[in-house]
Amino acid sequence: MSNILIHISGSISAYKACSLASALKKQGHEVQCTATKGALHFIGPASIEGITGRPLLTDVFAGGETGYIPHISLSQQWADLILVYPASANVINRLAAGLSDDLFGAIFLANNFNKPLRIAPAMNSQMLLHPATQESLKKLEGWGCSILPSDEGLMACGTKGPGRLLEPLDVAARIEEFL
């Protein structure tokens, strides 16, 4: 089927990336995951690696002496679709600023929208509605990213409103429709 790169950012909803990766694998896709250091506070590499059968990548310099350059090979050759799930306010704002001092920032710039890139926001309502985040989402969409809607409801912080991460099976169905 397809090669899908999932970037996991530091959000309490990072655990849902495990369910999404599992659903995509069951559909016959190959899944590679990258993660921020913040994501590793919420999920462990063993969970993702056990589901995908691939190492969880976190370091832009992971190729070392092998000559493997993950931000180039993943974004330009391997991935058929790139998905940020969940996309924290930090990741959204960093991408919109063009920062590439971590693995996914470098993947984002190296891809340059040659492969479809989807972003699934997940954060507290006030963070989502903040002008900086809203402007960043508009900028990213204008550049060619597809922004998935967030759900509304009760969040981990106890508030209700927009910003809940779309459920894994909903995202898997959207990916299947797109592909």
Q: What is the pLDDT of residue 154?
A: 84
User: Model confidence over 111-168: pLDDT tens digits?
Assistant: 989 999 999 999 999 999 999 999 999 999 999 999 999 999 888 888 899 999 999 9
Among candidate residues 117, 112, 115, 177, the one with its CA nearest the CA of residue 147: 117
Question: In the 8-state DSSP scheme, what is residue 11?
Answer: S
Is 18 a known active-site residue?
A: no
Q: What is the pLDDT of residue 62?
A: 76
**What number is the average pLDDT over the span 16-29?**
98
Question: Rounded to whole angstroms, how far apart are CA atoms 145 and 157?
Answer: 28
Q: What is the pLDDT of residue 65?
A: 58
Question: Rounded to whole angstroms, how far apart are CA atoms 151 and 166?
Answer: 6
Q: What is the pLDDT of residue 179?
A: 86
Distances (CA, A) of 158 to 13, 36, 104, 124: 14, 25, 30, 10
Q: What is the pLDDT of residue 144?
A: 96
- Determine what percent of the chain is predicted with pLDDT higher than 90: 87
Listing DSSP states for 38-58 in one string gives TGGGTS-HHHHHHHHSSPPB-
Question: Which is catalytic among the residues 18, 33, 145, 157?
Answer: 157
SS3 for 33? strand
CB–CB of 56/35 below 8 Å? yes
Calculate the average pLDDT of the chain: 94
- Return the sign of the alpha-carbon dihedral for residues 63, 37, 94, 21: positive
User: Model confidence over 158-177: pLDDT tens digits?
Assistant: 889 999 999 999 999 999 99
Q: Where are the domains of the chain?
A: 3-178
The token duo for 141 is 């969409």
User: Model confidence over 37-94: pLDDT tens digits?
Assistant: 999 999 999 999 999 999 999 998 876 555 578 899 999 999 999 999 999 999 999 9
Residue 116 makes CB contacts below 8 A (sequence gap 6+) with 80, 81, 82, 146, 178
Out of 3.40.50.920, 3.40.50.1950, 1.20.120.80, 3.40.50.300, the CATH code matching 3-178 is 3.40.50.1950
